[in-house]
């Protein structure tokens, strides 16, 4: 990834469009970020290290059972005007 076209392509995959100012800022920040990651080249132990997802066994997580619910959840109803008959409304156009 080296140029504006690449960055815009990356943004598009996230459903984002960048203004010129945002693109300029990202160019600067991305170069800084890449430079920071060069430290990994100086860590030979990385080659044999195991990836760490989480550092210790978690004893307090509780999973709730999934529940089938045909009606829109209360938080969705609270937070969008775009509903009709318990469905979310969208334009009919599909690309």
Partner 1 sequence: MNYLNMTIGELHALYVSGTVTPLQVIEDVISALSNDENNILEATMYDEARLAAKEIGPVEEGNLLWGIPFLVKDNIAVKDYVTSGSSKILKNFITPFDAAVIKKLRKHKAIPVAKTTLDELSMGGRGTTGHKGVTFNPYDKNKELIVGGSSSGSASGVASGYVPFALGSDTGDSIRKPASYTGLVGFKPTWGKVNREGLFSFMPTFDHLGFFTRSVSDAALLLNVTQEQKDSSDNIENITNDLKGARIAVIKPLLALYKNKALLARFKTLLKELEAKGAVISYVDFDEKLLEAIYPTYLILSCAEATSSNANLTGITFGERSQGESYEEIITKTRSENIGRQAKIRFLIGEFVLRRENYEAYYKNAQKARGLIVTAINKIFENYDFIIAPSAPSVAPKVNDKSENGTEVIENHLAIANFGGYPSITVPLLLTDNLPIGINLTGPVNSDAALLSAAWNIEEITGLYNLHVGWENL
Task: Give me the residues that bind partner 1 (CB under 8 A), please.
Answer: 1, 7, 10-18, 21-22, 25-26, 29-30, 32-33, 36-37, 39-40, 42-43, 45-46, 49-56, 58-61, 74-76, 78-80, 82, 88, 90-91, 93-95
Q: Taking the complex as a whole, how short is the minimal distance between the CB of residue 3 and partner 1, in angstroms? A: 14
- Report, in angstroms and rounded to the nearest whole number, the Rg of the chain calculated over CA atoms: 22
Give whole-number Cα distances, 72 to 11, 12, 65, 91, 94, in Å: 31, 30, 18, 19, 23
Q: Taking the complex as a whole, how short is the minimal distance between the CB of residue 33 and partner 1, in angstroms? A: 6
Contact 8, 23 (CB under 8 A): yes
């Amino acid at each position: 990834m080296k140029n504006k076209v690449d960055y815009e392509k990356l943004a598009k995959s996230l459903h984002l469009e960048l203004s010129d100012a945002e693109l300029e800022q990202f160019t600067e920040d991305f170069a800084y970020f890449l430079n920071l990651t060069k430290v990994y080249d100086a860590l030979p132990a990385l080659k044999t290290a195991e990836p760490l997802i989480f550092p210790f066994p978690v004893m307090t997580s509780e999973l709730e059972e999934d529940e089938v619910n045909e009606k829109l959840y209360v938080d969705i109803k609270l937070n969008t005007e775009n509903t009709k008959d318990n469905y979310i409304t969208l334009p009919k156009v599909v690309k």
